[in-house]
Amino acid sequence: MVEWAGQTHPLAFELFPQAERPEKVKVELFLDRHLYRPGDTVQWKIVVREKRGGRLVVPTQRKWWVAVRSERDEVMLLSTEVELSDFGTATGSLPIPINARSGACAFMVSLDGQMEDGMFSGNGVFLVDQFVPPPATARIEMVAGGDGSPSTRGVTTRVHAEYLSGGPMSGAAVVLRIGDPEVVKARQRARAQRIALGARPESLPEIEDRSFLGKTNLDGNADIVVPLDESAVKRGVVELHASVQPAGVAAIEVTSELAIPGAAYVVDWIDWMEPRMVRPGEELVIHARILDGAHRPTAFSGKAKLVEVRWHESWMAPDGRIFSDDALVAERTRLSLEPGAGLPRPWQKLVADYLTLVTAEVEISTGADGELTFPVRVPRAGVYQFQVERKGKRLNWVMDYGVDLAPMVLVAADETTRQLALKPGSGFVIGPRSLRKGEPLPLLVVLPVGERGFWVSVSGAKTSVLRRFEAKERINVLRLDDLPEFSGVGQAGLVLGSGGRLAMASESTFSVDDPGSRFDVRSGRRRTSPAREPLGCWLWRRRGRTGNLLSWR
């Protein structure tokens, strides 16, 4: 049988016996494929029916002869007697000699082993050739299913195999596994070792090798339903490993992480990995990209919000009085405590968290590229954060640093700003996204409560400058001149400390635009390890007015 797109095409032939035999005998021959190489093994099956009284029935004679002959040199490769089952079937295998010549081979069936006269036999043909298997590739992709619902739901995945020269690979056996099989085996070995050392099997989690079988159809596709577990739904991604085994060819291995549609999204705030400084009332346009659980762009609909965040902390004194804001700062000073430090017992902490206020909200929708653009206006001085939500759930960021000030944060302040509702111990510096060469460097410096003296360092291509400032307020807007020479990028740092012990509290990186510089873009080859082929890449070179190299990647 040759199998194309799940449909069987047996090689059928009829035997026309003499009068004393059945009216007609019908034989269907099934082969695993129609083309073999010397050394391959032919898997065959025959289904025999005889016609009696106008009906096809299981033959009364159970002993039959099967033979295979090379048509090119008329050499008999197989001649054996088989016994039909109760269903009129027989199966077997035929190893093709390694020195077999190319050509057609006839598969013959006979009632009594007389193969030569053709009176009582029929035949089907398959081919033997010394062909070279063409190179092929495979991929795993999502077809349907999955919406972030419970783990009983599944997703339909498609394993597609095709030849590099073009055309789908059909009839290839597919084994699809959840997770990397080597990792699964390593975990199974580790579990067995722990049991051998005395651990109770019931105390250790089972390590399942979950695999699913399929076969590629006429289009080279094998669609397989994969059940989801809770961890995959939570992460929004499932790791799959497929082994595609064409007949007579080495298996093709492919691994892929597939995002579960609707299960998880993340926000990629393009070129925005540090807090930004803006002026109160400033209008700006936000650019972002929505990614699926596998960090690939995806279509999305939901809400974008500009949220003001304000630190609020309240403690109850032993006498029942409530302290917060400036009163709490004064009480910490009276008790000789650091800003933000916890108060000793029997003081009771009532709340210590950022309170949020939505100042702007807009419905958003993206195309398949996930690109998102929306304008916002910062209403007043304060600290703001952008949030993207879907069905009331906030999306995570591509990178979450787990700190007070993270990506998608705006700090609105100017020369008149004296206070921002931040943690008492927070101290940081924010520079511009970009600086034009020759212009002063604007910086926003926020000091921890109680700090007055601080240093600002500015680093350029070869040198750095360090300046000391004495502050009267916690919020300081600076404009620095006499900057070092930059090479495409600069860095500002906030240095705090006393008694000769200084430490870098915060850093801010900014790009420097040199109008006289230019970019050279060239194709190149990136070297890899000796076991790998070199990879193609692009080389970006930035040069100054005189042609000196400023930066490259």
358-383 confidence digits (pLDDT tens): 998 989 898 889 898 888 899 999 99
pLDDT band at 142 (very low <50, low <70, confident <90, very high): confident
pLDDT digits (tens, 9 = 90+) for 407-418: 578 899 999 998
3-state secondary structure of 163: strand
The pLDDT assigned to 131 comes to 81
pLDDT band at 322 (very low <50, low <70, confident <90, very high): very high
What is the rounded CA–CA span in Å between residue 520 and residue 539?
Answer: 8
| pLDDT at residue 37 greater than cutoff 80 | yes
Q: Which is more confident, 467 or 113?
A: 467
| pLDDT at residue 3 greater than cutoff 90 | no
| pLDDT at residue 520 greater than cutoff 60 | no
What is the average pLDDT across 8-12?
A: 47
The pLDDT assigned to 493 comes to 93
The pLDDT assigned to 315 comes to 94
Q: Which is more confident, 513 or 539?
A: 513
What is the rounded CA–CA span in Å between residue 338 and residue 360?
Answer: 36
Domains of the chain: 2-128 (2.60.40.1930), 136-259 (2.60.40.10), 265-412 (no CATH), 428-513 (2.60.40.1930), 518-552 (no CATH)
The pLDDT assigned to 134 comes to 80
Strand partners, 139: 160
User: In b/e form, how buried is each residue of 493-514, taking b as 16+ CB within 10 angstroms?
Assistant: bbbbeeeeeeeebbebebebeb
The pLDDT assigned to 550 comes to 42
E strand map for 260-370: 265-268, 276-278, 283-292, 300-316, 322-324, 348-366
Q: Which is more confident, 501 or 321?
A: 321
Instruction: Render 303-325 in DSSP notation, one character per residue.
Output: EEEEEEEEEEEEEE-TTS-EEEH
What is the average pLDDT across 438-467?
A: 92
Q: Which is more confident, 412 or 198?
A: 412
What is the average pLDDT across 424-446?
A: 90
pLDDT band at 115 (very low <50, low <70, confident <90, very high): low
Q: Could you tell me which residues come within 8 angstroms of residue 93 by beta carbon, excluding any fewer than 6 positions away?
A: 41, 42, 43, 44
| pLDDT at residue 207 greater than cutoff 50 | yes
The pLDDT assigned to 118 comes to 42
Would you give the DSSP letter of residue 59? -
The pLDDT assigned to 397 comes to 66
Highest mean pLDDT among 105-109, 254-258, 317-321, 367-371: 317-321
What is the rounded CA–CA span in Å between residue 163 and residue 246?
Answer: 11
The pLDDT assigned to 532 comes to 38
The single-letter code of the amino acid at 1 is M
Cα 205-209-215 angle, rounded to 5 deg = 160
| pLDDT at residue 277 greater than cutoff 80 | yes
Closest CA relative to residue 78, chosen from 119, 35, 123: 123
Edge-to-edge strands, sheet with 453-459: 434-436, 501-513, 489-498, 453-459, 464-470
pLDDT band at 153 (very low <50, low <70, confident <90, very high): low
The pLDDT assigned to 14 comes to 52
Strand partners, 56: 51
What is the average pLDDT across 124-129?
A: 87
Q: Which is more confident, 264 or 242?
A: 242
The pLDDT assigned to 285 comes to 86
Strand partners, 302: 364
Neighbours of 73 (CB within 10 A): 9
The pLDDT assigned to 120 comes to 41
The pLDDT assigned to 123 comes to 63
The pLDDT assigned to 113 comes to 62
What is the average pLDDT across 226-255?
A: 79
What is the rounded CA–CA span in Å between residue 162 and residue 164?
Answer: 6
The pLDDT assigned to 188 comes to 76
Instruction: Kindly report the pTM of this predicted structure.
Output: 0.56
| pLDDT at residue 275 greater than cutoff 70 | yes
Structure tokens of 167? 């055309």
> Rounded to 5 degrees, what are φ and ψ at 446?
-110, 125
Closest CA relative to residue 401, chosen from 507, 496, 504: 507
The pLDDT assigned to 248 comes to 64
Mean pLDDT of the chain: 79
What is the average pLDDT across 21-26?
A: 67
Which of 54-63, 151-160, 276-285 has the weakest average pLDDT? 151-160
Structure tokens of 368? 């398949």
Structure tokens of 149? 């619902």
